[in-house]
Chain A
Amino acid sequence: MNVLEVANLNKYFNEPVRNQVLRNVGFQVERGEFVAITGKSGCGKSTLLYLLSTMDTDFEGSITIDGEQMKGKTNRWLAAFRNRNIGFVFQFHYLLPEFTTLENVMLPARKLGEYPAGRTEQRAMQLLKLLDVDAHALKRAALLSGGQQQRVAIARALINDPLIIMGDEPTGNLDSANSATVFGLFKELATERKQTVLVVTHDEDFARRADRRIHMADGSIVDA
């Protein structure tokens, strides 16, 4: 069953001049697939990922996630959907600096409100341990190094067991050992928990070991 279906996706930016960034993009991803998106800088990978994550709603064409059409939904609906189904890791970590590491990871789960606080905390600690930042759980996020913060951001993306994990160069700031850990974690989530992983990467090694690679050039998919 396809978790993600994209058809005839076109994206334009109107500023500073009208410019088509995505051209007739279409592809499908099955549940549990580990997909790497590659391509030269500026070819539209981030733009595509933002559209798929439902944060950017300004597009032509169709995006269907888990059977739901994303076009025409309200902001509130999309926010709830994102909270439940999509774990997004930005290229830059984007943590909330005034909250502790643990609080940062727990926030999306508290918003989801599905589990009691104790259980959420346990789960967050578990993820922090997997990513080897559990020692900093009670420190304010701003006090961690860039690489540590990036791993906390990955833990945050995983806290609600999302249907799709999306990452925009999530290992860009990590050394090779930590990159390998993250790759292993994603791989495991895909095969064992049937969570779908969609990662933009420049790391050739990372891309090669994915189940499948989508290669883009100049706003179009050239090799899926």
Chain B
Amino acid sequence: MKKRFTNIALSASIAATYMKAKLRQTLVATAGVAFGITVFIFMVSFIQGTNEYTQDVVFQQSPHLRLFNEVQIADQSLLDKCFPGVVNVVHHQKPKDILLNLKDANQVLEDLAGDPRVQAASGAITTQVFFRLGSSSFNGKLNGVNLEKEDQLFNLSGKIIEGSYEEVTVRTNSILMGVGLAKLLNVRTGDQVVVTTEKGGNFAVIVAGIFKTGLTDIDKQQCYASTKTVQKLLGAPASYLTEIKVKLLDKELAHEMSHELQARYHYQGSDWKKDNASLLEGDVLRKMIVYGVAGTILLVAGFGIFNILTMMIYEKMKEIAILKATGFSDSDVKGIFLTQALVIGAAGAVMGLAFGFLISYAVSKVPFNSDVMITLDHLPVSFKPVYYITGFTFGILTTALSGYLPSRKAAKMDPIAILRG
């Protein structure tokens, strides 16, 4: 054991002498590895930072799972019921005029509140409305929500930029309006606007506050009000809810739970993965690009190490033979060249991590203003330790691999064939 340790130490000190003698090549190889890792760290941090930022914005506005009713064409026509066993053909069947409410929604909300997997559940009514400004009208979406629960789920009160969240909870016929829509309608807090429902009723409501989520789609189209207010506008009873939004403690359970709840309550459902499929797909693609580019750079760096060691082995053929003649074993010789590769790899990797961090940090301080990402004031950069661990492992593995082949060649060399001269 001790013997093995002294052997490794000896190989390492011989490697050190060789590297000192070939300092410039060693530094170039190290810089190559460092460059690869730097690029990897920076790209992953920046791209992932952007990904996480957009995801955060979107997911903050998106429940983990939703339950709702959709207008559906009956899969069995009335004719089939009256004349079973016969082929009945109905052309261009129309849907029945059903209420889109969720049956027993309040009971379901109570059930969900008692479910240990659920963090918060909130019932809501969503309806299409028109807002009038002079002679033109704008399409919008009015969400009747349990304002207290909605705040728990989506931190809605934190997005108010004008007016007050409290006011809308206490005052009927008041709404919160998206900042984009407010600009379009040229209204401010305290102004009155006229809302036209799908059925044609006109109602005057007060704008109690203006919110900004950072998502243009929402900010330009949506309004929030209490469930009571919306139920009143629609002339619907107090039990009328069209959607249940649920936030879970573990969002990975969403898909499974959505199916379970759909089956139990006969609602339709969706989960956050389904609702944001394109966003998640893009995430995977971006990750693939990052790893592809970094992998290529490291491969080139690894090839540099391979070249340097191979060249050095040809130059040092005679010296390797002398070492073997004086009693160094094949594995000692392999150790000498592998050590060089690993030192280059480790030094390059550590430098790469440091530079990668510095560049990422610098970029994270660059001010950035965007109309789309309204809540963003600096470039988003992610600093997860896992990128650094991956980068280091990646660097060490590539260099070890590129050092292994030349070192094996050196170990295999027959000393006497060279020394005989």
Contact = CB atoms under 8 A, between A and B. Distances in A.
A96 B420 contact: no
A187 interface: no
Interface in B127-160: none
Interface in A152-204: 156
Contact of B329 (A56, A79, A99): A79
A55 B421 CA distance: 14
Given A56-B416, A94-B419, A96-B319, A111 B326 contact: yes
Q: Say whether chain A's binding surface is mostly helix, strand, loop, or mixed.
A: helix
B415 interface: yes
A79 B325 CA distance: 8
A107 B326 contact: yes
A110 B330 contact: no
A76 interface: yes
Interface in A39-97: 46, 50, 53, 55-56, 75-76, 79-80, 82-84, 88, 90, 92, 94-97
B329 A76 contact: yes
Given A50-B416, A79-B330, 4 more contacts: A80-B327, A88-B325, A94-B325, A108-B326
Interface of A: 46, 50, 53, 55-56, 75-76, 79-80, 82-84, 88, 90, 92, 94-99, 103, 107-108, 110-113, 156
B326 A98 contact: no
Q: For the side of the interface on B, what is the size category? A: 20 to 34
Contacts of A103: 17
A98 B10 contact: no
B17 A79 contact: no
A19 to B, nearest CB: 14
A111 B328 CA distance: 7
A96 B321 CA distance: 10
A74 B416 CA distance: 16
Given A79-B324, A82-B325, A82-B327, A111 B332 contact: yes
B255 interface: no
B322 interface: yes
Interface in B298-339: 318-319, 322-332
